[in-house]
Amino acid sequence: MARLFVFDHLWRVPADPEVAYAALADVEGYPRWWPEIKVVRRIDEDCGEAEVRSVLPYTLCLVLTRALEDPSQRRLRVAIEGDLAGWAAFELAPDAAAGTLARYRQEVRVTARYLSHASPLAEPLLRFNHGWMMRSGERGLAAYLRRSAGP
């Protein structure tokens, strides 16, 4: 069985939690602010395809299915299939200093044949690649929300 990768990141988002939540709930809009998310195509109301490429020369093809969208608790979760299998989630909370703290958690197994064979040896590279993507996403979301807020 493929190795399980567990990720946990904390983003500081310079916006009210409701504004940050709306941006994160709009998965089709991710390519506007998250450079590593190249394409998101809707399949149906709860499902879409995404193409993701970070530093490593490999594009992940993923199917994301809405598992939880709870604006009152500011929680989002998707099931992931394709080159990865598992889930990813955001939980948002107000923060006096930043505006919003967005905790991102992900548990996935690499299912892409090319990557799954390399993952035990390439784990440090895969973790670096993921970390780069997450830092880029945090910066991109912050810049996008600042632009959206206007002058």
From the CB of residue 115, how many other CB atoms can be counted at a distance below 10 Å? Answer: 17
Task: Return all residues near 75 (Cβ < 8 A) that are at least 6 apart.
Answer: 68, 69, 89, 90, 91, 92
Going along the chain from its start, the domains and CATH numbers come out as 4-149 (3.30.530.20)
Q: Tell whether the model's pLDDT for residue 119 goes beyond 60.
A: no
Quote the distance between the C-alpha of residue 42 and its chain's center: 16
Q: Per-residue pLDDT tens for 64-117?
A: 999 999 999 999 999 999 999 999 999 999 999 989 999 999 999 988 776 656
pTM over 0.85: yes
Q: Per-residue pLDDT tens for 20-75?
A: 999 999 999 999 999 999 999 999 999 999 999 999 888 999 999 999 999 999 99
